[in-house]
Amino acid sequence: MKKIFTLFAAMAMMAFSYAQLPDGSTAPDFSLYEIDKTTGQMITSQTINLYSMLNDYKTVYIDVSATTCGPCYSFHQTGTLESIYNNYGPNSTVNDSRVLFIEGAQTGNSWNALIGNTSNTYDFIHTYGSSTEVVPYPFIPLYFSPNYVSGDASCNYYTFHSGYDIHYFPTLYMVCPNRMIFELERNGGDESATFHGFINTKCPAWNHTNDAALGIGRITNNVYYCDLNVQPQIEIQNLGSANMTSATLRVTHGNDVQTMNWTGNLAQFDKEMVTLPTITGSDNGQHTLTVEILTVNGQADEGSTYNTHTETFSAQVSSNINNASQNFSSSNLSDWSLIDNTGGYFGVYNGALRLRAYYASSGTTGELYAPMMNFSNTSTPSLKFNYAHRRYQSYSDKLQVKVSTDCGETWTTVWEKSGADLATVTSGSGEFNATAAQYQTAWFNLTECANQSNVIIKFVFTSGYGNNVFVDNIEILNSPVGVEEVEESSLAIFPNPVKDVLNINYDKAINQIDVYDVNGKLVKTFTTVGSSINVSDLSDGIYMLNMQTEEGLVVRKIVKE
């Protein structure tokens, strides 16, 4: 799938602004044109409108594929969508589902390619019958849309891709009548009965008069530092046929239980954000927040789906630790907190923290927050960790370490690598899963944090839609980086001060040299080290050389002039 999307992206020549669509989020409305499956002409006299079908209480299955996509070809041979259409579609006795096929690529975009009349293209459509029969449900080629203009973000092609986060083919979505969207995973064979069964397990009922649901997205941050003062909001939706004009909610935080009343006027499936009571406190550790719907329009809520929302968050109001470590041996990270903005591609995997940038949309991030540290009596704290990455072609993923000494108001980047500088092994096309031998070690002083009482350290992973990034064995220390004891006569660095070329005479192999400025920021890395390194591109000033040798780390100061 990686290569398929790479080709698609190259042809598009436009950076989509991906709007993440996690399960349970709201599907954007669209009005698209289908094609006449006999003549190949676009039908412009009417549109296919998503919300119109949902308003008729139909569950909509959306398949976004491409004629040039091998996995799409394989999936459509199973007949899953055709079975859903035939058994649950408009011509069935059930009649609760609709199926849309959306040709989402700009490649293979001729009519002959779409019906499989070319010798060099995959054609999943042709497996359903002759070129004039095609598929029984609406067939929507975005590239054929009458308003298509290459590079025009307002036309159907680009608005659909940006709204639905399409970055691989096939992408299968199920949209419930209340607009909740879920991505479907393929396991093989005809899965029509399984997919249709998701209506009962994922979609809330819509046949009640007085019924409401709560949104399933997070309503608090994962962690709060220094001061617990939270103003959560939650989305409430009317599922009932009667307009919802009032509702009673119960909000529970620890031993604090409050009941609040909402008033308004929501038609069926309309939504509104509700501000919940403020949460305050001074207790460190895990907190639990629960929101429940008690009544709708003065009556007990008739439905039971999505009536309760529970989540946990961490509070670190004060800190007395000056050492911390994390080896990701468990998915329970205790006082370490994860924030995933990738849609499920960031988390603990095989005893390490992984950003699955091979799939995560470009620009999306994952963050790891360490416990709040107290370095008030520490003049030279340090940070050590292992990282691994294999670059995919010229795509550039990024890993950063940032620190804050003002409770997260401002952040300073103290370590950063991206692209080829981040790679610890040679480039490759397959998805990367790191082995122990493929990790490198970063170890540097946290100069900015010296003698500070409230220090927050976070790792920021940024996907460039390249390949996976791993971090493991993090150590936060109240002491400086370990310096190997060496005889002065065994290590010679000259000239110092240096202008261009720095000569290094050492009787041990040097695997890598990281150059840090006086602020502790990594400014240059040498992965190939001989008897000299060229530092002519450095600005004048003082630098620390962290030399990773076969026996440990050696640190030396140089002056660039």
283-339 confidence digits (pLDDT tens): 888 899 999 999 999 999 999 899 999 999 989 998 888 899 999 998 888 889 999
**Which tokens in the block code for residue 233?**
């909001």
The CATH class of the 324-477 domain is mainly beta
pLDDT, position 491: 81
Beta bridge partners of 339: 367
Please give the pLDDT value at position 6: 41
pLDDT at 7: 38
The answer regarding whether domain 2-202 maps to CATH 3.40.30.10 reads: yes
Find out if CATH 2.40.30.10 is the number for domain 488-560: no
Separation CA 207–CA 441 (nearest Å): 59
The predicted pLDDT at position 75 comes to: 87
Residue 96: strand, helix, or coil: coil
> Which residues belong to CATH 2.60.40.10 in the chain?
212-316
Amino acid 122: pLDDT: 58
Alpha-carbon distance of 421 to 357, in angstroms, equals 16
Cα 118 to chain centroid distance, Å, stands at 38
Cite the residue boundaries of each domain of the chain with CATH code 2.60.40.3080: 488-560
Both tokens assigned to 175: 């949209």
In the chain, which stretches have pLDDT less than 70?
1-20, 107-109, 118-134, 482-489, 518-521, 550-552
Would you state the torsion angle of the CA atoms of residues 517, 523, 527, 529, taken in this order, to the nearest 10 degrees? -50
CATH 2.60.120.200 in the chain: give the residue spans. 324-477
Structure tokens belonging to residue 15: 């950076």
In which residue ranges of the chain is CATH 3.40.30.10 found?
A: 2-202
For domain 212-316, give its CATH number from 3.30.470.10, 3.30.2130.10, 2.60.40.10, 1.20.120.450: 2.60.40.10
Query: CA 508 to CA 551: how far, in whole Å?
Result: 8
Q: In three state form, how does the secondary structure of 335-390 look?
A: CCEEEECCCCCEEEECCEEEECCCCCCCCCEEEEECCCECCCCCCCCEEEEEEEEE
